[in-house]
Structure 1
């Protein structure tokens, strides 16, 4: 699928989604939400896709919401504003619920809802020069897209409050130190590094990867007993899966596991 707002291409088993609005630093739009949500749904049903990379055109990840559009929301009824907002939130939920690993490749910066989208991905690769900012406060708005939830996973309440109340820029280096950025790379290399990481993950067992993603996504919010129950259920299911038979057999046979063959069945 390729539209004006979303460009897509395949890099082997990796699907690359490009937010294509470089003239506005890839400000988000209803067309992008609709196309990207559908692209992720299509990827879910395609066994040849093992991972997804999300990035922005023109060496900038995403500047957040389009202020020229947001300023018109004042004249809309609250229910209509909520309906428009659900396009973003539906996209974030699709990112969360995808069984395929989704990797954000950030160049330039991620601001406002662009930061929400970057943090909604499972993994984040960033150039060292990129910045991140919860800019809502600067235009009299409040966070959306799950931003406060995602930030709260790795920063204190005090730092979360500071980031949201000031809207100040945070460097990629600092987010890496805080644990939100998985890989730091030189400028212009984020997409290539994210695709390489995606290709590595795509070689793994798809169903086990999906179970691991589900376990990790909510681990911070669950009690130990709750997590033990989920881990037990996942392990029992995995032990009966063909993927475990292939993986264990390959290890014992001193050969490389061929999980891709299982996906082709």
Structure 2
């Protein structure tokens, strides 16, 4: 079992914060998180590209190259693998593993389950040590229909964990945990169970998705409102030197 896989079987779920650049990832790691994920929305938004449209392959790989050698375990949000060709997805996963990523998140976008299963199998062939978190969007973009059948297919294809964003009902979460043979990942949402409740339900991984990025944008607007109103900006503000030190850390690594 890899160190990243082991985090999914430790006491309590793996709380996985999601970063969008070098500074945010290093900041999260410095806060004590042993593993950090990326968020496809932030990567796409930073590049002025749409999320979930297979438009950010190069940006995603570039970020993985930047973060893969950092002192934390890196899992990469790769949308649907940026291709419908399983072999191309497998090759992309191989490139991620080569630069130091230890996990990949692959979403089905409610496309054909057999195609997504083929992508998962291709990734496990190309990068056997990469932890594949297979996401289904049955709750994110639908009414939950077909969830179990899809997850069973993804398990059979070799997924190391499965991700069901949008799933918030405690009874349904508990039922899935009992049904699955691999760790269940859910998305932390304001309307869903909190971390202690998710722990009791048996969830093994809790992702924050784009939450931190969106909160960062919101905090920037709040700070601007404070300045406009003549108030000192609220909240925690890292110093110039602290942020600059993160970039200098990267320069020293290179």
Q: TM-score, normalised by structure 2?
A: 0.31
Q: Between Structure 1 and Structure 2, whose CA radius of gyration is higher?
A: 1
The structure where helix makes up a greater share of residues is 1
